[in-house]
Amino acid sequence: MSDQSLISKSATQLHQALARDELTPIDLLDALEERIALVDGDLNAITTACFDRARTAADALARKPMSERGLLLGLPVAIKDLQPVAGVRSTWGSPIYSDFIPDGSDCMVEQVENNDGIIYAKTNTPEFGAGANTFNEVFGATLNPWDMRKSCAGSSGGSAVALASGTAWLASGSDLGGSLRNPASFCSIVGFRPSPGRVAHGPARAGAFPASLGGMPNDPFSISGPMARNVPDLALLMDAMVGHHRADPLSMPREAQSYRAAVAARKMPARVAFSPDFGVTPVDPEVAAVCATAARKFEQMGCIVEEAHPDFHDVQDLFQTYRAISFYVGKKGLLDSHRDALKPEVIWNIERAGAITMDDIARVELARARYIARATEFFDTYDLLLSPATIVPPYPIEDRYVASCGDVEFDNYIQWCTIAYAITLTGFPALSVPAGFTASGLPVGLQMVTGPRAEADLLAAAAVYEEHAGLAGLVPIEPRKLAQAVTG
Task: Report, as residue numbers or ranges, the catalytic residues.
Answer: 80, 155, 179
Q: How crowded is the C-beta side of 427, counted as CA atoms within 13 Å?
A: 14
Identify whether the C-beta of residue 170 lies closer than 8 Å to the C-beta of residue 238: no
**Phi, psi values for residue 23, rounded to 5°:** -135, 160
Identify whether the C-beta of residue 88 lies closer than 8 Å to the C-beta of residue 121: no
Identify whether the C-beta of residue 98 lies closer than 8 Å to the C-beta of residue 213: no
Please name the amino acid found at residue 1. Answer: M
Cα distance between residue 115 and residue 47, in whole Å: 24
**Phi, psi values for residue 64, rounded to 5°:** -90, 145
DSSP letter assigned to residue 25: H
Identify whether the C-beta of residue 145 lies closer than 8 Å to the C-beta of residue 479: yes
477 Rama class: left (phi>0) / alpha (psi -120 to 50) / beta: beta
> Residues in the chain, how many?
488
| Dihedral sign (CA 283, 158, 209, 86) | positive
Indicate the SS3 state at residue 391.
coil
**Phi, psi values for residue 80, rounded to 5°:** -60, 145
Cα–Cα distances in Å, from 203 out to 208, 210, 243, 330? 5, 10, 15, 14
Cα distance between residue 435 and residue 443, in whole Å: 8
**Residues 6 or more apart whose Cβ sits within 8 Å of residue 73:** 15, 18, 19, 25, 61, 66, 116
Cα distance between residue 430 and residue 192, in whole Å: 6
Indicate the SS3 state at residue 446.
strand
128 Rama class: left (phi>0) / alpha (psi -120 to 50) / beta: left
Q: At what angle do helices 358-381 and 315-338 cross, to 10 degrees?
A: 130
